[in-house]
Amino acid sequence: MTDPVPRAICLGEAMIMLAAEAGGAPLEDVETFRRSVGGAECNVAGGLAALGVPTGWLSRLGTDGFGKHVLHDLQSRGVDVGGVEDDPTRPTGLYVKHSFNGRTQMHYYRSGSAAAAMDPAFLDRPAVRDRLAGADLVHTTGITAAISTTAAEMLDRLAALRDTLGFTLSVDLNWRPALWRDADPAPLWRLLRAADVVLIGADEAVAFAGTSDPGELRELVGPRSTIVLKSDAHVALALEPDGRSTEVSALTVDVVEPVGAGDAFAAGYLAGTLQGLPMEQRLRLGHLSAAAVLAVPEDHAPPPDAATRQALLACSEAEWAVAQVGPAGVRLGGVV
């Protein structure tokens, strides 16, 4: 049996993540690191696949051992990687996650990576073009626009191909000021204004656009997209092009580690979009997917099983309000 054609494509850099395991020691004293795979778009790809959406991930990787591990990891999670291009001269990027004095910091080593060499011609590779042509949805982030000038040009081309190939274009802002230092964010504004779905956190909206007001964001981003705004009060608001708005509060979570939760939310919301769920259930599925990641130390985690997801998507607002998520799983509180 052949693998299903990916309905969703995620385009962007994956990196090796090395998590310090020294119990809160300074980075210079850490001797042991735990390896895993990270990167916004590949996190979303894995989340979509875990929710039953045939998903592919497109990028470039070094032919080093780290690149091979990325491929093996994503394949083991059910993600199609047949469109990934190998680079024999540039390395696979990596980053170090380190917690000390109650703060978690990321240290990135991605300059000159294989993924940073993506350019508009990358989209013309047959393995890439065929997957884009067969996709219902293509997802990327502002990080990809920031990693190189050529990658930003590639995303301009992607937006133009959307109008030709007919897929839905989803963009998560993922504002990273350090990546835009001394750079003009105009390519990111173009990408957001071309998108059909814009995912954005309230804190990063203020840092990037100077506001988290939904109406002001609508004026800045333009009329095309559904804007999904995640607020500091843990409420997700979807503002559709026709003016309809839907709000859903997050689940109560015993938080272990916040990194990766935004990507999981995106995966849940986009899976609900592809499944044709009502807007409230799309937002609930986003919150539920994010909660599963918040409850573990890794950047990604499997979502609750299908029966639990279905129960939470169909429950009343009062039942949703008392559901809780922790390391042991979901406490439904009478939902089922």
C-alpha to C-alpha distance for 79 and 73, rounded to whole angstroms: 9
Whether 236 and 307 have beta carbons less than 8 Å apart is answered as no
Torsion of CA 6, 10, 16, 20, to 10 degrees: -110
Q: Among all chains, which residue has been given the structure tokens 């990766």?
A: 260
3-state helix, strand, coil in the chain (%, to 5): 40, 25, 35
Q: Looking at the chain, list the stretches that DSSP marks H as alpha helix, in order from N- to C-terminal side.
A: 40-50, 65-76, 126-134, 142-146, 149-165, 186-194, 202-209, 214-221, 261-274, 279-294, 306-314, 317-322
* CA atoms in the 13 A half-sphere facing the CB of 247: 6
What backbone torsions phi and psi does residue 43 show, to the nearest 5 degrees?
Answer: -60, -45
Q: Is 232 labeled as catalytic in the residue annotation?
A: no
Tell the burial category of 193 from Cβ atoms under 10 Å away from its Cβ (0-12, 13-18, 19+): middle
Query: Amino acid identity of 8?
Result: A
Among 213, 263, 299, 305, which one carries the catalytic annotation? 263
**DSSP-assigned beta bridge partners for residue 11:** 58
Q: Token pair of 321, please?
A: 């309000």
**Residue count (the chain):** 336
Active-site residue set: 263
